[in-house]
Amino acid sequence: MRLKGRTVAIGSALAASALALSLVPANASSELPSAETAKADALVEQLPAGMVDAMERDLGVPAGEVGNQLVAEHEAAVLEESLSEDLSGYAGSWIVEGTTEHVVATTDRAEAAEIAAAGATATVVEHSLAELEAVKEILDEAATANPADAAPVWYVDVTTNEVVVLASDVPAAEAFVAASGADASTVRVERSNESPQPFYDLVGGDAYYIGGGRCSIGFSVRQGSTPGFVTAGHCGSVGNATTGFNRVSQGTFRGSWFPGRDMAWVAVNSNWTPTSLVRNSGSGVRVTGSTQATVGSSICRSGSTTGWRCGTIQQHNTSVTYPQGTITGVTRTSACAQPGDSGGSFVSGTQAQGVTSGGSGNCTFGGTTFHQPVNPILSQYGLTLVRS
């Protein structure tokens, strides 16, 4: 186990064995083929102005380059999906911050040529993604058995080829890792002031109410012929009735899982018609799918408290301990949120990503937000995403 700032053996091995074989062009519309430029322009036209402005403001994407960024990120996500199945030594992938360069890691040097041929940068590392996720699962099991001993946040960091544990009390976090039985040589404990809590009473699209509480609709779905929407599990329990933003009778929670996960779905009555729209203050984006974006990609969320806010995907498959217990499998992002945004929609371009779970900080001083990925919710409850 290593603390940030100390010499890291794995990091040294990475530096020595990294293979930079093929770079993806950085943001430069002049280098894009005309077909790609047209695709980028068409994508931007589907996005609300507020979301585009937020990407330029929060991520520093130059004006006019948002479409190019999103096209490159979506292509990286599609390639990641393919290579994760094809490469026996697959160790994750990510987009280098501030660029559109897509890096793919593998433990097998012989697979580097295949990665380069696919148009990505190849890096050879020590541990496969499966190995690191197995270590993380040991920590997940330990937190479930002894939630009081759990650190606030832990995840597989594909960019450093480690499992990272964030905690304000480093000795306690080290003890947690040691007691879990996980291979400490693959774990880095990092001091952090994050103190995540669920975001109750938050709106990411339209508001809905559960008794005296308020949350937000994530994405419209159907279970067979039954319409409904997905949201955060901490917003309600099975059987809880909901009313819409206009206080008209709306539906009932049919499934809810929290803690452990933070997922739920609500079946709605005939007063409500599901759409593919995610919006804030009248502007909206039509969801066209749910391909999970790559680490390092831009991501935006919409909430009634803070409007459109954007950041980057920091890690997938993160575990986080709230006061109510530990949840696993969430995605950690740098998009800020505040009370009033819970259950709401995270999107990358027009691809649905997840529903707002919780986080720390705020949109004045910066913050970290976790979302429950949407695809596991669809799988858990047998739902189909309503798409444009």
Confidence (pLDDT) at 280: 64
Q: Annotated catalytic sites, by residue?
A: 234, 262, 342
**Which two three-digit tokens encode residue 99?**
């660029």
Q: What is the mean pLDDT of the chain?
A: 87
Distance CA 133, CA 47 (A): 35
Distance CA 144, CA 328 (A): 10
Q: What is the pLDDT along the chain (388 residues), one digit of tens a residue?
A: 444 332 222 222 222 222 222 223 223 333 556 778 888 998 898 888 889 999 999 999 998 899 999 999 999 999 999 999 999 999 999 999 989 999 999 999 999 999 999 999 999 999 999 999 999 999 999 999 988 788 899 999 999 999 999 999 999 999 999 999 999 999 999 999 888 877 543 334 788 999 989 888 999 999 999 999 999 999 999 999 999 888 888 999 999 999 999 999 999 988 888 888 887 655 678 899 999 999 999 999 987 788 889 999 999 999 999 999 999 999 999 999 988 788 999 999 999 999 999 999 889 887 899 999 999 999 999 999 999 8
Distance CA 283, CA 270 (A): 25
DSSP state of 360: E
Confidence (pLDDT) at 262: 98
Does residue 169 contact residue 211 with C-beta atoms inside 8 Å?
A: no
C-alpha distances out from residue 360 to 126, 175, 202, 205, 373, Å: 32, 24, 14, 21, 18
All domains of the chain in start order, with CATH: 9-124 (no CATH), 129-191 (3.30.300.50), 196-388 (2.40.10.10)
Confidence (pLDDT) at 248: 85
Give the burial string for 345-370 (b: 16+ CB within 10 Å, else e).
Answer: bbbbbbbbbbbbbbbbbebeeebbbb
Closest listed residue to residue 338, CA positions, set 302, 314, 312: 302
Confidence (pLDDT) at 237: 97
Cα radius of gyration rounded to whole Å, the chain: 21
